[in-house]
Amino acid sequence: MLMAETDTLLDLLRRRGVSRRGFLKFCAATASMLALPPSMAPAIAEALGKARRPSVIWLSFQECTGCTESLTRSHSPTLENLIFSAISLDYHETLQAAAGTAAEAAREEAMKNNRGKYLVIVDGSVPMGDGGVYSTVAGKSNIEILKETAAGAAAIVCVGTCSSYGGIPYAQPNPTGAVPVSEIITDKPIVKVPGCPPIPVVITGVLAHYLTFKSLPDLDELGRPLAFFGETIHDRCYRRPFYDQGKFAKSFDDEGARNGWCLFELGCKGPTTHNACATTKWNQGTSFPVESGHGCLGCSEPNFWDAGSFYKAVSVPTEPTRIVAGVAAAAGVAAGAAMAVHNRRKKAVAAAGHQKASVEDLEKKS
């Protein structure tokens, strides 16, 4: 990544052989991705074209590297990696060539040279138990590194459910005392891009927004960008009409499943899960879990791991589905929202009980 500090995104892309038409197309797709009106594309082109590459420090704490995999395994060249290459990634333990003292020196230099201007991306939760001893880098605990790095940051982007809400390390009984970043850093703007892993284009969408508007996108009450988390999986699910008609798969191999009916009764968390999977999809737009015949796990919601069995707790109501769903079908979206509230309440109850899935749940042979 040897590029002049003064390089703009357009300079960079031009050197890579991207034409101005290609750039305009890239901006049209970016506007679409950010849920902005298409008329914004020229303004985005103007702003993005002049954008300087921001310094980014990526901190990995208690995590599985799935978030980095999600972003870097996209086939080249995609919108994601065009934007990703537009940043100056000055520190990333998995991706950087430097190791040991040299790696830490790179982080310190980036912090010093770009104080108040750099972005910090965090994946993984922060273990607070026993003085933070459960996860350390270069002899420093994650808490120390986070506090030290966040102090000079312009903003923090939490990538993945672990850094956003604690994720799997935070699940009961949380042996390491894991917490999300927002419980430690309270004086910096924080954007949360949850998902296990998050959709790559959502990660880069936040970066594109920052590069274009020099500000962070509008967020929902859980700190997630509204452009991507404004609707539930259920809102945009292609199986939604079956839900409205009360047609549900009762097991993974019944007639309903073969007909592609709604997976609500099989535990789909689509109605309570805000994410963009149903529209952006996965694997170069191939599909998303519901399209492959499995319900949504709700991985972009807080405490998804403790919200009861993936196969029953939230989504198999104690009342017969046809009654609740029948009301939803009759009264439309408002009742759908009522169902979501109903399920959210059930989720809280299930979370308290920490229900586990059994083989019977999976096979639905009760």
Partner 1 sequence: MWSANCWRGGPVSELDRIGVAVVDGTEDGRSGHVAALLREIESLLRSLVERDEGGSIDLRSLPLTENDLVQLEEALGEGEVAAQVDSLGFSRVWETAVSGVWWVSHENEEGEVIGEFIEVTYCPEILITPTEDVKESWQALRARLLESEYGKTMGDAHGGD
Question: Residues near 16 by Cβ (< 8 Å), separated by ≥ 6?
Answer: none
**What is residue 24's three-state secondary structure?**
helix
Residue from 69, 283, 353, 356 in contact with partner 1 (CB under 8 A): 283
Residue from 293, 316, 317, 329 in contact with partner 1 (CB under 8 A): 293
Determine the Cα–Cα distance for residues 121 and 190; give it in Å rounded to an integer: 10
Q: What is the DSSP letter of 219?
A: B
Q: Is 166 left (phi over 0), alpha (psi -120 to 50) or beta?
A: left
Residue from 8, 65, 72, 78 in contact with partner 1 (CB under 8 A): 78
Burial 183-211, CB ≥16 within 10 A → b, else e:
eebeeeebbbbbbbbbbbbbbbbbbbbbb
Is position 77 an interface residue for partner 1 (rule: CB under 8 A)? yes
Of 294 and 354, nearer to partner 1 (C-beta) is: 294
Is position 42 an interface residue for partner 1 (rule: CB under 8 A)? yes
CB of 271 to partner 1, least distance (A): 16
Of 15 and 238, nearer to partner 1 (C-beta) is: 238
Determine the Cα–Cα distance for residues 1 and 229; give it in Å rounded to an integer: 32
DSSP of 286-336, one letter per residue? TB-GGGGT-----TTSTTGGGSS-TTTTTTS-SS-HHHHHHHHHHHTHHHH
Residue from 20, 50, 140, 356 in contact with partner 1 (CB under 8 A): 20
Is position 291 an interface residue for partner 1 (rule: CB under 8 A)? yes
Residue whose entry in the numeric block shows the structure tokens 């298409």: 38
Mark 151-190 with x for binding to partner 1 (rule: CB under 8 A) and - for no binding: ----------------------------------------
Please check whether residue 280 is in contact with residue 199, taking contact to mean a CB–CB distance below 8 angstroms.
yes
Residue from 1, 2, 38, 319 in contact with partner 1 (CB under 8 A): 38
Is position 338 an interface residue for partner 1 (rule: CB under 8 A)? no
Residue from 75, 101, 221, 319 in contact with partner 1 (CB under 8 A): 75
Residue from 94, 113, 259, 358 in contact with partner 1 (CB under 8 A): 259
Burial 319-330, CB ≥16 within 10 A → b, else e:
eebeebbeebbe
CB of 198 to partner 1, least distance (A): 18
**What is residue 270's three-state secondary structure?**
helix
Is position 260 an interface residue for partner 1 (rule: CB under 8 A)? yes
Is position 284 an interface residue for partner 1 (rule: CB under 8 A)? yes
Residue from 7, 11, 93, 244 in contact with partner 1 (CB under 8 A): 244
- Phi, psi dihedral angles at 53 (to 5 degrees): -75, 120
Binding site for partner 1 (CB under 8 A): 18-22, 24-26, 28-29, 31-32, 35, 37-39, 41-42, 75, 77-79, 82, 236, 238-242, 244-245, 247, 257-260, 279, 283-287, 291-293
